[in-house]
Amino acid sequence: MLGGWDIAIIIFVVLVVIVLAFYFLNRWASTRMVQQQSMIEQHKQPASIYVIDKKKEKLQNANLPKAVMEQMPKWNRFMKMHLVKAKVGPQIVTLMCEKDVFEAITVKKTIKVDLAGMFIVSVKGMKNREEMAALRKERGGGFVNRAKRLIGMGG
């Protein structure tokens, strides 16, 4: 039979193995992320796009080419991604982006972006959410607050 100390040692060894596995997995992931980021920086190019639609949906439902779907990791195929349907030159394409870029994009407008293949790296000349909130605060807090002040209801 196993005593109390034997069980404690086994639990300790298992925890050490799990911590080491997470450590090496994190190192591997961070080096891979740095490689991918440098690849994106090398291949990004400025473009002017007209945004038709933007939505968050699964890649299976998006009209992406089969070559792109095959290159995606399996776990990524079932996650919801930030997708932007835009007109780039004469073509209408579906582009992917990160959450902060997705929030900065406005629909039915022509915007300047940095593209790396099908990935929108950044939006040029657009303000982020914090800057927009600061501008609204400076200007008087929006339509409702200005109307209340004009009517005399406070604000």
What are the residues whose beta carbons fall under 8 Å from the beta carbon of 60, sequence distance 6 or more? 69, 77, 78
Total tally of structural domains belonging to the chain: 3
**Same-domain check for residues 77 and 120:** yes
Query: What pLDDT does residue 155 have?
Result: 47
Query: What pLDDT does residue 128 have?
Result: 62
Q: Domain limits at 131?
A: 127-155
Q: What does residue 101 show for φ and ψ, rounded to 5 degrees?
A: -70, -40
**Same-domain check for residues 57 and 94:** yes
Query: What pLDDT does residue 143 have?
Result: 67
Query: What pLDDT does residue 140 have?
Result: 62
Whole-number Cα distances in Å, 142 to 77, 94, 135: 40, 33, 10
Q: How many Å apart are CA 7 and CA 76, to the nearest integer?
A: 39
**Same-domain check for residues 101 and 150:** no
**Same-domain check for residues 108 and 48:** yes
Which pTM value belongs to this model?
Answer: 0.64
Give the domain CATH number at 85.
2.40.50
Q: How many Å apart are CA 14 and CA 20, to the nearest integer?
A: 10
Could you list the pLDDT tens digit for every one of the 155 residues in the chain? 678 889 999 999 999 999 999 999 999 999 998 998 888 888 889 999 999 999 999 887 777 888 888 888 887 778 888 999 999 989 999 999 988 888 888 899 999 999 998 899 988 876 666 776 776 677 665 666 667 767 776 54
Long-range contacts of 63-69 (CB under 8 A, 24+ apart): 63/94, 64/94, 64/118, 68/118
Query: What pLDDT does residue 129 have?
Result: 67
**Same-domain check for residues 50 and 118:** yes
